Amino acid sequence: MKILSRTLLFLTLTGAAASTHAGMIKFEAAYGTAAANAAEGAFLLGSYNQTTENFNDFDASGKIDSNSNQQANWVQSETFFDTTVGRFENTAPDSSGGGDDVNNTNLMIEDKDTGEFGRATPGQWLDSNDADEVTWTLASGAYNSFGFFLSDANDQGARLKLQLKEGGTIEEELKLDKKGNGNLAYITFISSIEFLEATLIFNNGVGNNDGWGIDNVTLAKVPEPGTLALLGLGLAGLSMARRRKV
């Protein structure tokens, strides 16, 4: 219950960045397995026109999971992956000069046998392979929001650049808390205006040897800018209901 309470406090108090083009923008990160699962449930409940990529449909016939170097294990390994929610591409490979990465210009599709730390939810997920930069070009559609699980992100940052439906370009710096190995978060981003073109850049920084996994990526439409606050109230009600049952 303490995890849920902290999550509700974060949802209530996190500031929203504003822009004359963007109207209202909200960025949330719920940390810990219970809080992340609750945040995903709230996002899915409060949105519609959803498209979700869980990476489970990628062919595993070429899977490699017998190498003693875990960095050399994968389900698939490519410079980019086209998915139902857009293209994920390794746009700046690991430049640390250390570590034991292989195919370092590629991204990986991983599973519990091949991936580090069991990074994401069950099934397969996308792994950054310690890239300095990964670019996600969002699929076009009537979307103004997205949510996804991000695991083992440590001190990763993300730079978000959006070209909105009404024209104009905005950039938002999304800050993630520094966490230890194996951490799990659910990330939610909501704009009051639909995306025309949107690119999310996961920027690890030059010379850093660190990686992350992403899974259950959902593009969706949220009907009103204040919906996330309502989702927080809904979670609060759920918390109170659970307490009454105790």
Say what the pLDDT of residue 1 is. 22
Residue 168, CA distances (Å) to 61, 136, 171, 200 in order: 44, 20, 10, 16
Q: What is the pLDDT of residues 157-210, one digit of tens each?
A: 677 888 877 777 777 778 788 777 778 899 999 988 888 888 998 887 776 767
Counting the structural domains of the chain, the total is 1
Strand partners of residue 213: 127, 151
Across the range 41-60, mean pLDDT stands at 96
Residues 6+ apart with CB under 8 A from 196: 140, 163, 164, 165, 167
Domain that holds residue 19: 2-245
Per the rule left: phi > 0, alpha: psi between -120 and 50, beta: everything else, 79 is alpha
Across the range 125-145, mean pLDDT stands at 92
Say what the pLDDT of residue 14 is. 32
Residue 238 has pLDDT above 60, yes or no: no
Residue 63 has pLDDT above 60, yes or no: yes
> Percentage of residues in the chain with pLDDT exceeding 70?
74
Which residue is it, tokens 């073109």? Answer: 197
Across the range 19-41, mean pLDDT stands at 80
pTM of the predicted protein model: 0.80
Q: Identify which has the larger pLDDT, 210 or 58.
A: 58
Query: What CATH number is given to the structural domain containing 50?
Result: 2.60.120.260
Judged on CB neighbours under 10 Å (0-12, 13-18, 19+), 137 is middle
Say what the pLDDT of residue 119 is. 60
SS3 214: strand
21-30, 92-101, 142-151, 169-178: which has the highest mean pLDDT? Answer: 142-151
Say what the pLDDT of residue 231 is. 55
Say what the pLDDT of residue 102 is. 82
